[in-house]
A and B are shown apart, each in its own frame.
Chain A
Amino acid sequence: MKDKIEKIVIETLKELNEELEKDELENPTLKTRLYGGVGALDSLALVSFIADLEDRISDEFEKDLVLADEKAMSAKTSPFRSVESLVLYVESLLGV
């Protein structure tokens, strides 16, 4: 299950990067930094990524998810800081 989430996250990032053309997103891994500090995404790109990812996760797991809730977006240790933290966050929301 975790592998499937990771695959979806990485595919979504790669597709977004077709437009962003960021070197650090050409071959994303679990360690890729996403948002905040040296993250590859700015706020608009993050929103686009989250919106797309929510759709894909919902389709794949047949469960509606809200990734960008207030708590997650304002958390000091944001789940959007890296691919790895995001995969764990999605996994926890899916309850798997």
Chain B
Amino acid sequence: MRESKKISLEDHMGFIKSLKTLNDRKYFALMKEEEILGSLNFVKDGKLFWGLYFKDEVNPMYKSLACYIFLNYIFSKFDEDLNSFIKKNNPQALSFNKNFGFSEYKSDEEYIYLKLSSKEWDEKKESKLLSPVKKYLSKTTYSIKE
């Protein structure tokens, strides 16, 4: 999260309404039945970025499968590198991104910057780490609603 200042309810609601008409960014809620477990988004602001948020107690299975599906979704829409930036004090998030194939390309005082290409993602899906996930996903029922 880059913003830490307070946002008014009015500004926030305006932002939510604007999302429906924007094609350069999409925000998805991860839902199981009627419960929201987290959110995933991409923003094309010059570079293409993704962002993730999950409740602490969420089943790791849902979190991992949702990210796998979301990366496939992003690379079906964009043929360019996907970027991510992680706070330096968040090693779990860094490891999580790297396990999906992201690699570091720079850092500053606060963040580590990573990227993943479509080709790298395709290769990563065949890895020892992700191929069981791919197989597991084939037995899972899910849908993406835009």
- A-side residues, CB < 8 A to B, are 15-16, 18-20, 35, 42-52, 55, 68, 70, 73-74
The answer, among B63, B65, B128, B133, for a CB contact under 8 Å with A15, is B128
Chain B contacts for A46, CB-based, 8 A? 60, 64
Q: How many A-B residue pairs have CB under 8 A?
A: 60
The reply to whether the CB of B57 lies closer than 8 angstroms to some CB of chain A is: yes
0/1 interface trace, chain B 54-76, chain A, CB 8 Å (1 if under): 00010111011101000000000
Q: Is the CB of B100 within 8 A of A44?
A: yes
The reply to whether the CB of B129 lies closer than 8 angstroms to some CB of chain A is: yes
Q: Closest chain A residue to B65 by CB distance? A: A47
Chain B contacts for A18, CB-based, 8 A? 128
Q: Is the CB of A51 within 8 A of B129?
A: no
20 contacts between A and B (CB under 8 A): A16-B129, A42-B92, A42-B96, A43-B60, A43-B64, A43-B96, A44-B64, A44-B67, A44-B129, A46-B60, A48-B128, A48-B129, A48-B130, A48-B132, A51-B133, A55-B135, A68-B59, A68-B61, A73-B59, A74-B57
Chain A contacts for B65, CB-based, 8 A? 47
Q: How far is the CA of A8 from the CA of B99 in the complex (A)?
A: 23
Q: What range describes how many residues of B lie at the interface?
A: 20 to 34
Q: Is the CB of A42 within 8 A of B128?
A: no
Q: How far is the CA of A55 from the CA of B60 in the complex (A)?
A: 19
A15 to chain B, nearest CB (A): 7
Q: Is the CB of A52 within 8 A of B132?
A: yes
Q: Closest chain B residue to A35 by CB distance? A: B60
Q: How far is the CA of A23 from the CA of B59 in the complex (A)?
A: 26
Q: Is the CB of A19 within 8 A of B128?
A: yes
Q: Which of B90-130 contact A (CB under 8 A)?
A: 92, 95-96, 99-100, 127-130
B132 to chain A, nearest CB (A): 4
A24 to chain B, nearest CB (A): 14
Q: Closest chain B residue to A72 by CB distance? A: B59
The reply to whether the CB of B78 lies closer than 8 angstroms to some CB of chain A is: no
Q: How far is the CA of A49 from the CA of B128 in the complex (A)?
A: 10
Q: Closest chain A residue to B92 by CB distance? A: A42
Chain A contacts for B28, CB-based, 8 A? none
Chain A contacts for B132, CB-based, 8 A? 47-49, 51-52, 55
B127 to chain A, nearest CB (A): 6
